[in-house]
């Protein structure tokens, strides 16, 4: 059941219906009890009338003249059957049904005077009243038991007649409450409909905060959350827009240079000038290729950051060796010693493998490019605790001054370096890729003199 209106109605109506049903049931039991009291009173009056007509005859024997009023008291418009029995203490039947005294009683003996009992007689459920009368004659006494019983058709009809108006009244209250509640829900849920319409009617590019007047207090956190989410989306869109503008600007310069070089080379013969122009074209091509590849890596890292559930266990040792092998030619070309520092082995990290590779590749690529010939670039892996792994890449390059370290993570920011060939995207890719793997990047000075030490702390391991 996905309807809020239906669920709210159910939570209100169900307890109310249970309460009213319980009330109607107890009202019926009370009506039945009152009807039983009235029937017991009629049975008692009938028994008392019969008792007044028991007397001694001339032979000192008990006799009874059955008065018509005793049976008239039990007359029923529902054709109830009435039974009576008058017996002496020695079992002599004076009048009535001889086996009425043997009827099976199904309720406890009454503790209140003028109260009958439930019984079964010849398969019929009856209400039975019993009383005794002591009669005296010539100095002797005799006990007479008088039993009067009646079926329960009038009893049930009497209980229903008193219960039915209450049932109609309480059922009407339930229907009235339901109608009023539905009208109230419809009125009070209007702000939700207004919120839906306000969002639905907007243009897709409109991320301005939602402004609704007279908003209920319960809906304000929802609207605030939507506005905050829209603000984050707007910041993300603005960031992407700036990134595209920066990327277009960065690509425009090498492309213009490449076009100039191609134009110049087209007018040259096979001379040393042509060879130098072609070498410059090759460098421009490599720069553009590097820039495009890093732009793609940055975009992929941002996409993976938004999908943490897709992380898989990644063995770190094979990955580090793979990256170092791929960069070995570049390190040899720059006369940089590439190696592993003191590390823990057999570490496994829950991460996106492409993003983790981008972290390693760009850190080592930066270390090789910005370290003077004859320097070193070292990778180390350390287990911090049961839930942590630290990756470090340390070089012997010029390092980054502390005041510039927070800015070098910005896209196309190259800090204070003048080394040609860079794009300013390496550390931006490292940060985004590390975040995609649950890591945090920090910059420090080298432990042994000048240089840069980049530390990446990962929180989730397997």
* pLDDT tens track for 393-449: 999 988 888 888 777 777 666 555 555 555 667 788 888 888 888 888 898 888 877
Q: Do 27 and 133 lie in a common domain?
A: yes
Q: Give the pLDDT band of residue 230 (cuts 50, 70, 90).
A: confident
pLDDT digits (tens, 9 = 90+) for 36-71: 888 889 999 999 899 888 888 877 788 888 888 888
Q: What percent of the chain has pLDDT over 70?
A: 81
Is the confidence at residue 24, as pLDDT, over 90? no
- Domain termination site, one of 265, 280, 306: 306
Position 326 pLDDT exceeds 70: yes
228 falls within a domain: yes
More confident residue, 314 or 187: 314
- Alpha-carbon span 241 to 256, nearest angstrom: 22
Structure tokens of 312? 């898989």
Do 316 and 287 lie in one domain? The reply is: no
Note whether 111 and 92 are same-domain residues.
yes
Q: What is the CATH number of the domain that holds 448?
A: 3.30.565.10
**109 and 211 within one domain:** no
| Burial annotation 10-31 (CB, 10 A radius, 16+ → b, else e) | eebbeeeeeebeeebeebbeeb
Chain segment 67-111, per-residue pLDDT in tens:
888 888 888 888 899 999 998 888 888 898 988 888 767 666 565
pTM of the model: 0.46
327 domain residue, yes or no: yes
Indicate the range of 33-37, 66-70, 300-304 predicted with least confidence: 300-304
Are residues 59 and 154 both part of a single domain?
Answer: yes
Instruction: Let me know if residue 433 belongs to a domain.
Output: yes
Its domain, for residue 379, covers 308-458
Q: Are residues 286 and 313 in the same domain?
A: no
| Residues composing the chain | 462
121 lies in the same domain as 221: no
- Domain co-membership, 216 together with 89: no
For residues 452 and 437, give the distance between their C-alpha atoms in angstroms, rounded to a whole number: 22
CATH number of domain containing 205: 1.10.287
Q: What is the mean pLDDT of residues 253-269?
A: 69
Q: Which of these three, 110, 144, 162, is where a domain ends?
A: 162
pLDDT-wise least confident of 7-21, 311-325, 390-404: 7-21
> Are 381 and 291 in a shared domain?
no
Domain-embedded: residue 36? yes
- CA dist 125 → 71, 112, 274 (Å): 19, 21, 123
Q: Which residue has the higher pLDDT, 128 or 234?
A: 128
Mean pLDDT value across residues 356-361: 88
Task: Write down the pLDDT at residue 269.
Answer: 63
How many domains are contained in the chain? 3
For residue 175, pLDDT over 60 is answered with yes
pLDDT above 90 covers what percent of the chain? 13
Q: Give the residue from 306, 337, 363 where a domain finishes.
A: 306
Q: What is the pLDDT of residue 462?
A: 44
């Amino acid at each position: 059941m996905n309807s809020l209106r239906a669920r709210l109605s159910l939570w209100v109506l169900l307890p109310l219906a249970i309460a009213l049903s319980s009330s109607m049931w107890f009202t019926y039991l009370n009506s039945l009890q009152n009807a039983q009291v009235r029937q017991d009173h009629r049975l008692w009056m009938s028994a008392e009338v019969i008792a007044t007509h028991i007397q001694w005859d001339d032979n000192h024997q008990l006799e009874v003249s059955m008065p018509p009023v005793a049976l008239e008291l039990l007359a029923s418009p529902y054709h109830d059957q009435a039974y009576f029995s008058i017996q002496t203490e020695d079992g002599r039947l004076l009048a009535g049904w001889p086996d009425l005294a043997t009827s099976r009683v199904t309720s406890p003996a009454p503790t209140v005077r003028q109260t009958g009992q439930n019984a079964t007689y010849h398969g019929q459920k009856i209400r039975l009243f019993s009383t005794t009368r002591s009669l005296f004659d010539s100095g002797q006494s005799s006990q007479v038991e008088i039993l009067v019983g009646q079926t329960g058709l009038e009893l049930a009809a009497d209980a229903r007649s008193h219960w039915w108006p209450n049932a109609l009244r309480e059922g009407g209250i339930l229907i009235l409450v339901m109608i009023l509640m539905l009208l109230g829900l419809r009125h009070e849920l209007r702000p939700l409909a207004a919120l839906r319409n306000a969002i639905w009617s907007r243009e897709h590019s409109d991320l301005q905060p939602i402004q609704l007047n007279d908003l209920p207090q319960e809906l304000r956190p929802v609207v605030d959350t939507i506005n905050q989410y829209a603000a984050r989306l707007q910041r993300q869109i603005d960031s992407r827009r700036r990134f595209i503008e920066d990327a277009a600007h960065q690509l425009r310069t090498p492309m213009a240079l490449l076009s100039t070089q191609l134009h110049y080379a087209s007018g040259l013969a096979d001379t040393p000038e042509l060879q130098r122009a072609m070498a410059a074209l090759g460098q421009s091509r490599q720069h553009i290729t590097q820039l495009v590849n890093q732009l793609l890596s940055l975009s992929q890292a941002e996409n993976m950051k938004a999908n943490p559930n897709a992380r898989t266990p990644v063995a770190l040792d094979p990955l580090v060796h793979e990256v170092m092998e791929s960069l070995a030619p570049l390190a040899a070309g720059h006369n940089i010693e590439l190696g592993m520092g003191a590390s823990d082995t057999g570490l496994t990290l829950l991460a996106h493998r492409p993003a983790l590779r981008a972290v390693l590749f760009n850190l080592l690529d930066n270390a090789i490019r910005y370290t003077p010939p004859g320097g070193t670039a070292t990778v180390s892996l350390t287990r911090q605790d049961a839930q942590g792994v630290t990756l470090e890449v340390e070089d012997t390059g010029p390092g980054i001054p502390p005041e510039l370290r927070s800015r070098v993570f910005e896209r196309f920011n190259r800090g204070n370096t003048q080394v040609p060939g860079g794009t300013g995207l390496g550390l931006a890719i490292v940060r985004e890729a590390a975040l995609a793997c649950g890591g945090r990047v920090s910059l420090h000075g080298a432990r042994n003199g000048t240089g840069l030490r980049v530390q990446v702390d990962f929180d989730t391991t397997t």
